[in-house]
Structure 1
Amino acid sequence: MCLHGRAFHLNEVVMLKKEKSAVLVEYAEFLHCKGKKFTDFDEVRHEIEAETDRVTGMNKGISPIPINLRVYSPHVLNLTLIDLPGITKVPVGDQPPDIEHQIRDMIMQFITRENCLVLAVTPANTDLANSDALKLAKEVDPQGLRTIGVITKLDLMDEGTDARDVLENKLLPLRRGYVGVVNRSQKDIDGKKDIKAAMLAERKFFLSHPAYRHIADRMGTPHLQKVLNQQLTNHIRDTLPNFRNKLQGQLLSIEHEVEAYKNFKPEDPTRKTKALLQMVQQFAVDFEKRIEGSGDQVDTLELSGGAKINRIFHERFPFEIVKGIEPRAWHMLGNAALLLSAQASLLDANLTGLFTPDMAFEAIVKKQIVKLKGPSLKSVDLVMQELINTVKKCTKKLANFPRLCEETERIVANHIREREGKTKDQVLLLIDIQVSYINTNHEDFIGFANAQQRSSQVHKKSTIGNQVIRKGWLTVSNIGIMKGGSKGYWFVLTAESLCWYKDDEIRVEASGSSAEEGAERDLWARIPAMPLIMPPWHIVELL
């Protein structure tokens, strides 16, 4: 694609196909002028302008319908170009006010295709950072993988400036690089300067310019033709396998569809009924697969069907609840409790106000429960809309039978909307049930009793860690930290540690069973020292 054109003279797409020919005479042919050969290229230019006026009118409008032009010459390489109009910033003549957006949309229709190369043409005497061509190419090709930069009007740059950094691909680099060219000026065109003389002048310019002479062999129109031909060939070779696979997949799909109608007899009523039942049954199967997220009906590009409904339930619904219920409302519970306590104290002087009154608690909680209605009903609407979208996707297979497709979609959509009303009634009923009675005896409710019970459970768990599993005298053999042979120690084994204590008097008194019991009773009071921690694999003997 060539992002280039004269906005005031060419507002139509030109599809130019250059074909190398053995015929010495160069000529051109238009698709809208079949059989007519143009040997004078001034007439070709006039015919392009005339065809543009015939299609777009005299108001300088635009048209996405391309002008097909073939050029046969022994001096060209096989190449196909699509010349797109330049973007018009300000409407001229009878052009519509949104002419810029129209041209932009038309350009995007072509350059968004992954199989095309984008030829971004930018004048050298303008700021490259403000190039419309490079900006549009960047939008559709952010990595610069299929964009080729062309810098024109290098001979018109201000004195002392050059585009060397751009042509060397140092500024705004592109993977396929830049090529500089010097085209004929309007004066050269009016003076009938031919293409051959223009190319010689272009070659002389690059060879004589100090900033470009070292890259002169990679500049100019002839080199641009070779680059485009080579890049197009390589691009076709790279994209052809995927393109072939895509076509084969479409062919197999069409063949499978044709096979289903091979023995189809339009006038057979039984055949019609059977075909109708098969299509309706297939619609039901496709709908079920999209909801379950199985089979070939899964959309890998975006969430849809059952996957989107799952997200609505598990992400959107909680988000709507949090958004609808203000967190500060829970802090109002204490204020409401104090207010009701003050009112109750007028009737009962013995009211201490230690606990939150039930009336205050229920007043706050019920208000918050009622706020669940909005998010719940909104979730029902979202699920209903996704179900209808799923129905529309499933009816695409019935496109060959428009009336059947329309009627199937209408019946199923009406049924979904009927169930929507009943679903909302059930949701509101469920919320009203929750509002009517606050069950404080539920195990998930942290009331005074449950809070006390949980506190005791936590305390019990903390004491389990210090519970003594076994205790008694142990003889420890000679180890690195204990010199002097085997010694006896009083060991205490708990769930969290193994401790031993050393006391000469206790060891002497604990020679018998009664002494051991006495030592056990007096151990904690008589030994204030920090216990030692010992790995269990050093235990040798348990007495």
Structure 2
Amino acid sequence: MSSPSAPPAPAPFPVPTPQPSLGHSIIPALTKLQEILSQLGEENFSIDLPQVVAIGSQGSGKSSVVESLVGRDFLPRGVKTRRPVVIQLVRKIGEEWGEFDHVSGKKFYDFEEIKKEIQLETDREMGGYNYISEKEIHLKIFSPNVPDITLVDLPGVSKVPVGDQPGDIQLKTRDLIFSYIKQPRCIILAISPANEDLTNSDALQLARLVDPEGLFLSFLLDIMDRGTDARNFLLGKVVPLKLGYFGVVNRSQEDLKFNRSVKDALAFEQSFFSTIQAYNGLSHCCGVPQLANKLNQILVQHIKAILPALKSRVNMQLVAVAKEHASFGDTEESKDGLAVKLLNILAQYSEAFCSMVEGRNRVSTDELSGGARVHYIFQSIFVKRLEEVDPCGDISDQDIRIAIQNAAGPRTALFLPEAPFEILVRRQIRYLLDPSLQCARFVYEELVKMSNRCLTEELTKYPALRRRMDEVIGNFLRERLNPAEKMITHIIDMQVCASTDKNSTPGAGGHT
């Protein structure tokens, strides 16, 4: 469908100015509350805010829409999205920067560096392969120009394997998308070009499978040219949706090739909709700024709905914490008194650990643990691995024959010489190293589990101390694993040396 050739000049297309609202004040407060509860170890106390999940076919413009909402170019180009990128937008006055969960404590002020880090982290997980992974990349972006929402950029639906992609890539991609959009708090942002048949849209079909009534679905039409009239779609006359449709103008491949900025693209989008007569009167559903405001309104409505229950849960938690605090008794103690209490807690922890090793703790019928598990590792797993070692593996009759002939020199051996036996045994003893190192790692892992299970009554009162003890003990065991592996390697080397002729001398092919 084409637009009129000479449209009259309409009134300027209104662009909404962000106004302070409930969302701009309460969402950061809820996020901060969630972080505090997480630090206190309250994993079961979660505040579920909706996530906006962008879905669509490969090349449909998902990443471009996410960048437009952020107002920055920060997602890699030339490479299809291969891992979910979870982007938490935080409205904050001042500078703009990003933070990754996997790069602790570092702020990225250059968004080109953010783009490179996303690509590097994808390659660390996927290598050079064109597969997809369920492992998320978590990014926080702080800016005065963003709404307080969480966006998820998912891999696009792939119908035909390309390059080294597996044959079931379409099934894996659909399963990954379903794992996100089936969540009850998910707002689905389905994206499709406006010049394609909407009824055959992959994004719409996937979204309708989990949300047949369109209650949590908003459809985004990428209107790329003046010859596309999407008015009926935007008005919901074709496929009605509760959250409605939004029209946007993404950057074209030519724009990306010449590095057209997101800011320039948004300015062009505003100009586009203000000069096309077909979109007169549709300012509420045309353009990225309107989409951002709509998403913020959805969050505000959700927060209003959960605030009463949230307040009740916080009050109940306060009462529980107050009771726990009262059970501690008088906490005004001297430094010496606190030191004695700490030593008592450590002594109780040590006693609990020894009891677990010696089997004096509560006996479980579910699984082996503690000293019993360590005994099983040595007597069953380790022994089985040793029995699997073939003493004659990689040694052929020809190897034995050549070794005997070399040991005999120019003479014909009347009896079997000892030297070839020692040479072959030395080589085979090396096969005992891998099972021995594996046994050490299994024991290390069980000791870590034991330390995590030693939760005394006194220790439960001090969660910060508990986390610090887990950290220190974990580091201690980890630091001792390396010397243990070195010792095992040295023992194997000693066995190799012991198998040589006791009369051999250095430099003559033997060891002393």
* Interval of TM-score (by shorter of Structure 1 and Structure 2): 0.3 to 0.5
TM-score (ref. length: structure 2): 0.46
TM-score (ref. length: structure 1): 0.44
Q: Would you tell me which structure has more strand in proportion to its own residues? A: 1
